[in-house]
Amino acid sequence: MRIALLEDDPSQSDLVRFWLAGAGHVCHAFDRSREFMRALARDSFDLLVLDWELPDVNGDAVLAWVRANGHDSVPVLFTTARDREEDIVAALRAGADDYLIKPLRRHELLARIDALVRRAGRAASPGTGIKVAEFSIDLERRVITRNGARIDLTQKDFDLAAFLFRNVGNLVSRGHILETVWGRSPDLNTRTVDTHVSRLRTKLGLLPENGWRLSAIYQHGYRLERLNAEETATTPAADGAPAPRAPRNR
């Protein structure tokens, strides 16, 4: 999973990053809230881990910003030394999905993260499948079918399709796609992503006339959406055109 960590204590941040990397996660760490929020404005993550006490903007205010700015579907794990019941309740009511009291313990942290990601439907379990409308994705056999008919895809096209269907309705950045599908740094050329998305749109028929829209969001990334009947009838197909509305998560 691609995780964003907001923690101003360098030793704590290094330790959590070490634990997450050992569990196979990719962690992007931030020590200032404003830097963290700037990153979220242009990038996407599978899960957020937020400290409460921070030098510029406290974690509860950051959490409010996250939920108010189109990231309502991203799981948030709050971490803090505060252990009063009223603090825990306040964090959960403000939009946190779970809460851990410091000092953090490795196995508990990883178990909570796995549970949150699984609950959000973002976990990549090779023994299960994904079913979205007419598409069925067999993650074990690496096969995609549409209305029962198999669609031939390259390995990378399959990985990209599985990632997009796992995130239907969510805006995902090119950097997020590169790291998850290609295992590459988001600093590399993203034209690879654009080329594969365009090819996948054609191969899978992800077009408005078929009830789907796979849109490029200018300076952000992509969003795969299932259209309702009215949108299907009125939305023109567009390959790579910027979406006409602001980015959002569902």
> At 50, which CATH number?
3.40.50.2300
Residues 83 and 188 placed together within one structural domain of the fold: no
**Omega of the bond prior to 244 within 30 degrees of 0, cis?**
no
* Tokens 């990053």 found at: 17
Distance of CA 110 to the CA centre of its chain: 17
Residue 240 belongs to a domain? no
Task: Kindly give, in sequence order, each residue whose CB lies less than 8 Å from that of residue 213, ignoring residues fewer than 6 positions away.
Answer: 206, 207, 223, 224, 225, 227, 231, 235
Q: Give pLDDT, residue 16.
A: 97
Is there a domain that residue 70 lies in?
Answer: yes
Number of structural domains in the chain: 2
pLDDT tens digit string along 174-199? 889 998 898 876 555 667 888 899 99
Give the CATH number of the domain where residue 169 resides: 1.10.10.10
In a domain, 77, yes or no: yes
Rg of the chain over all Cα atoms, to the nearest angstrom: 19
Based on the domain organization, do 162 and 107 belong to the same domain?
Answer: no
The residue from 76, 98, 119 where one domain ends is: 119
Query: What is the average pLDDT across 2-29?
Result: 95
Residue 245 lies in a domain: no
Residue 161 and residue 137 in one domain = yes
Lowest mean pLDDT segment, chosen from 6-10, 144-148, 196-200, 246-250: 246-250
CA distance 25 to 48: 12
Is residue 241, in this structure, part of any structural domain at all? no
The token duo for 59 is: 């974690």
Residue with tokens 């760490």: 29
Q: Are residues 158 and 89 in the same domain?
A: no
- The whole-angstrom separation of Cα 105 and Cα 95 is 23
Which residues span the domain enclosing 219?
Answer: 129-234
pTM, rounded to two decimals: 0.76
> How many alpha carbons lie under 13 Å from residue 169 in its C-beta half-sphere?
14
For residues 174 and 219, state if they share a domain. yes
Say whether pLDDT at 126 is over 70. Answer: no
Same domain, 155 and 193: yes
Q: Distance (Å, rounded) from C-alpha 164 to C-alpha 86?
A: 38
- Over range 220-230, report the average pLDDT: 85
pLDDT, average across residues 134-162: 94
Kindly report, residue by residue over 59-107, the tens digit of the pLDDT.
999 999 998 887 888 999 999 888 889 988 988 888 899 999 999 999 9
